[in-house]
Amino acid sequence: MAFGRFKSLSVAVFGLLLMLFSTASFAQDNPDSASHLQREDKAAEKADEKGGAFNANEVIFGHVMDAHQFHFFSWKGSEGEQHHAIIPLPILLYEPGRGVSFFSSSKFHHGEEAYNGYRVVTESYRENLKEKGMEEDQIRLLQDEQIVAVDNNGTPISNIKVYDLSITRNVVQMFIALTILVLLMTSIAKRYRTGQGLTSAPKGWQNAVEPVIQFIRDEVAKPNIGHRYKRYMPLLLTIFFFILINNIFGLIPGSANVTGNIAFTATLGVISFLVITFSANKHYWGHIFNPPVPFGIKFIMVPVEILSIFTKPFALIIRLFANMLAGHIIIICLVSLIFIFGNLSTGVGIGFSPISIAFAVFIYVIEILVAFIQAFIFTNLTAVFIGQATEDHHQHEADAHHGNPPTEPVII
C-alpha cells in the first residue's frame, strides 16, 4: 500500500513538473512550403512502411545531447501539420568572407527548413541527403545539431567553414545553475553577517545548507587534506554545489543534461588537475620521479606514476559523465517502450504503459539519489587527490608508524 502511494505521488510530481516547465513558445512548420510538404509526404510513407512514426534513436539522443533550443514535446494538428513546444535560443554564426549572422533558432522550424543559407543537421535532414544520393561517408561527417552552410537545394557546401558561437541549452542551463548558486550562497552569507546562525538558530535555506557545508568540511576536507583544508574549502564547496544543482536541474523534464556532457565534466576535471598539480609538494614529485622501489623496478614505475597524474582527473571526468548520461538514457528508453509497443499494437502499448511508467519512476527516484552521490564522489576524490599531492613526508611516516593505511581513493 505504501509503495503504491509513493508511486502515485512520484507520477503526480513528474507530471506537475512537466506542466510547469512546458510554458514555451510554439514553432510550427511552414505548411505553404512545397519542399516541406514533399518531405512530410516522404516521411509519412516511410513511417507507414516501418509501422509507425516513432523514432526511438532520435528521441533518446535528442534529449541527452546539446541543442539550440529547449524542446518539450510535439504533436500533430488536425490537418496533419507538426507543432512543437519549444523555447528557441539565439543563433550566432561566423563565416569567413560573409561575417556574423544572428537570428533565432526558431527560423530553422525545428530543423526542417534552411534559413539565410544555413541549416541545422537532424536525423530527418540526413535521411533527405541519402535520398538525394549524397555519399554515406560525407553524411557520417555531419553531427547532430551542427549548423552547416547549404546551397539553394539544401545540400551542404563542404568548402565553407561555419563557426557556431551560439548559446546552446547546456550553456543557458549552466548559467541558470550558476546564478542560483551565487544568489543562494550570498543570501546565506548575509544572514551570517547579521548574526543569524551564530547568535540564533539558522532558518530556511541556511538551515538546509549549513549541515552540508559541515559535512564537506568534517568528512571530506579534514580527513583527506589535513590541516591545510581551509584553503581548499571554497573549491570543494563550489564543485559540490555546482554539480549537485546541475544534476537536479537535469532531472526536470525538458531540461538539459549538463553533467551528462563530456565537455562540462572535462572542464571540471581540468580545474581539479590544475589545482592538484600546482598544490603538489616536493615529496609528491619525488614519489613520482623517484618511487621508493628497487632500482630495476623504477624504469617500470616511473612511467606508471607519470601516467597516474593524468588518469586521476580522467577518472573524475568519465565517472560523472557516464553515470549521469546512463541514468537519463535508461529513463527515456523505458518511456519509449510504450510507443515502440504501441506501434506494434495499440492494446500492447496501453497494457505495457503501467509497467514502463513504474520502472521509469523507480529509476527517476534512484537518479535523485545518484545526483547527490556523484556530486559527493567528485568532491571527495578531488580532496583525496589534493591530500596525496600535499601530504607531508613526516606525516606519511608517522601514519605508517601508527599503522594507519596510506590515503587512497575509494572507487565507486
Segment 79-110, tens digit of pLDDT: 767 777 888 889 999 999 889 999 888 888 87
Q: How many domains does the chain have?
A: 2
In a domain, 148, yes or no: yes
* Residue 254, C-alpha cell as written in the block: 525538458
Interior/surface letters 67-98, b for 16+ CB within 10 angstroms, e for the rest = bbbbbbeeeeeeeeebebbbbbbebebeeeee
Question: Is the pLDDT assigned to residue 328 strictly greater than 70?
Answer: yes
Residues 136 and 187 in one domain: no
Residues 349 and 276 in one domain: yes
Residues 379 and 257 in one domain: yes
pLDDT digits (tens, 9 = 90+) for 205-231: 888 888 999 999 999 999 999 888 999
What is the Cα–Cα distance from 372 to 251, expressed in whole angstroms? Answer: 12
CA neighbours closer than 13 Å in the CB half-sphere of residue 139: 15
Q: Which amino acid is at 251?
A: L
Q: For residue 53, what pLDDT is reported? A: 58
In a domain, 64, yes or no: yes
In a domain, 409, yes or no: no
What is the Cα–Cα distance from 13 to 37, expressed in whole angstroms? Answer: 39
In a domain, 18, yes or no: no
What is the Cα–Cα distance from 182 to 242, expressed in whole angstroms? Answer: 10
* Residue 232, C-alpha cell as written in the block: 581548499
Residues 210 and 90 in one domain: no
In a domain, 14, yes or no: no
Residues 77 and 121 in one domain: yes
Q: For residue 153, what pLDDT is reported? A: 84
In a domain, 94, yes or no: yes
Is the separation of the CB atoms in 70 and 253 below 8 Å? no
Residues 257 and 372 in one domain: yes
What is the Cα–Cα distance from 241 to 68, expressed in whole angstroms? Answer: 26
Mean pLDDT within 246-263? 89
DSSP three-state, residue 25: strand
Residues 224 and 260 in one domain: yes
The residue segments making up the domain with residue 38 are 27-166
In this structure, the number of other CB atoms found within 10 A of the CB of residue 45 comes to 10
Q: For residue 39, what pLDDT is reported? A: 41
What is the Cα–Cα distance from 319 to 410, expressed in whole angstroms? Answer: 13
- Which of 108, 133, 166 is the endpoint of a domain? 166
In this structure, the number of other CB atoms found within 10 A of the CB of residue 326 comes to 14
Angle between helices 233-249 and 346-390 (to 10 degrees): 180
Residues 76 and 134 in one domain: yes
Residues 108 and 256 in one domain: no
Q: For residue 223, what pLDDT is reported? A: 93
* Residue 259, C-alpha cell as written in the block: 553533467
Residues 205 and 239 in one domain: yes
In a domain, 408, yes or no: no
More confident residue, 175 or 296: 175
Question: Is the pLDDT assigned to residue 122 strictly greater than 90?
Answer: no
Residue 42 CB contacts under 8 Å (≥ 6 apart), including other chains:
131
What is the Cα–Cα distance from 13 to 276, expressed in whole angstroms? Answer: 41
* Residue 110, C-alpha cell as written in the block: 525545428
Q: For residue 393, what pLDDT is reported? A: 59
In a domain, 410, yes or no: no
- Which of 166, 182, 208 is the endpoint of a domain? 166
Q: For residue 5, what pLDDT is reported? A: 45
Residues 378 and 392 in one domain: yes
Least confident of 214-228, 342-356, 363-377: 342-356
Q: For residue 86, what pLDDT is reported? A: 82
Question: Is the pLDDT assigned to residue 324 strictly greater than 80?
Answer: yes
- Which of 120, 145, 166 is the endpoint of a domain? 166
* Residue 45, C-alpha cell as written in the block: 510513407
What is the Cα–Cα distance from 80 to 405, expressed in whole angstroms? Answer: 68
27 has which bridge partners? 84
pLDDT band at 394 (very low <50, low <70, confident <90, very high): low
Residues 38 and 144 in one domain: yes
